[in-house]
Amino acid sequence: MSRAVLSIGSNLGDPFENLRSVVDALGDRLVAVSGVYATAPWGGVEQQDFLNATLIADDPELDCRGWLRFGQELEAAADRVREQRWGPRSLDVDVVDCDGLVSADPELTLPHPRAHERAFVLVPWLEIDPDATLTVRGARVPARELLGDLDATERDGVRRTELRLVRP
C-alpha cells in the first residue's frame, strides 16, 4: 500500500468542479481532504486566482509512479494543456509526498521539489495532518516549520473559502 499527499489546483473552467473530480475519482481511497483555499497565482504569470486543496490517499494497488499516472490521467480528462510554465490550468495534480520516498528521477521527483516553498500546499496539508513532515535537503522537517519560514505575504495569500469538496 502507498500513501500519497496530493496537491490539487485549478483556475480555468469551473475550478471547484475540477477539484471535485479528483475527490470523486479517489472514492474510498481518500483518507483526508482539506478545505478549499483561494490563492494568488504563483510564478509571476498574470492570471486569475486558483482554488487549491490538499488530499491524502491510500491505495494498496498504486506505487508512487501509479499516483503520478493517476494525476496525469485526471489532468488529461480535464483537458489540461501545458503551454506556459506556472500558467493557468484546468487542473493540476501534484504528488507532494509518497511514503516519504526521496527520488531525483526527472519524471517523478519526490518530494515535490518546491512544495516546501508553497504556502498553498503547506497550509491545507497542515489542516488535515498537523504533524506533516517533508524531506528538505536530506532531512525530514515539520511542515509547520517550513510554513513559518515563508514570507508572511506568501502565507497570507492563502485564503480559506466556504467551499467543501466532500459532500456532507
Active site residues: 80, 89, 92, 94
The one-letter code for the residue type at 77 is A
Q: Domains of the chain by range and CATH? A: 2-160 (3.30.70.560)
Instruction: Please give the Cα distance from 70 to 150 (Å, whole number).
Output: 30
SS3 content of the chain, % helix, strand, coil (to 5): 30, 30, 40
Per-residue model confidence as pLDDT tens digits over 114-143: 899 999 999 999 999 999 999 998 899 999
Q: Rounded to 5 degrees, what are φ and ψ at 52?
A: -135, 155
Per-residue model confidence as pLDDT tens digits over 10-52: 998 999 999 999 999 999 999 999 999 999 876 666 678 999 9
Of the listed ranges 9-18, 68-77, 99-108, the one predicted with least confidence: 99-108
Of the listed ranges 76-85, 90-99, 159-168, the one predicted with least confidence: 76-85
Query: Which residue in this structure is represented by grid cell 503551454?
Result: 83
Share of the chain above pLDDT 90, in %: 71
Half-sphere exposure at residue 110, Cβ-oriented, CA atoms within 13 angstroms: 19
Confidence (pLDDT) at 98: 93
The answer, yes or no, to whether residue 84 has pLDDT greater than 60, is no
Confidence (pLDDT) at 105: 85
Looking at residues 4-13, what average pLDDT do you find? 94
53 beta partners: 8
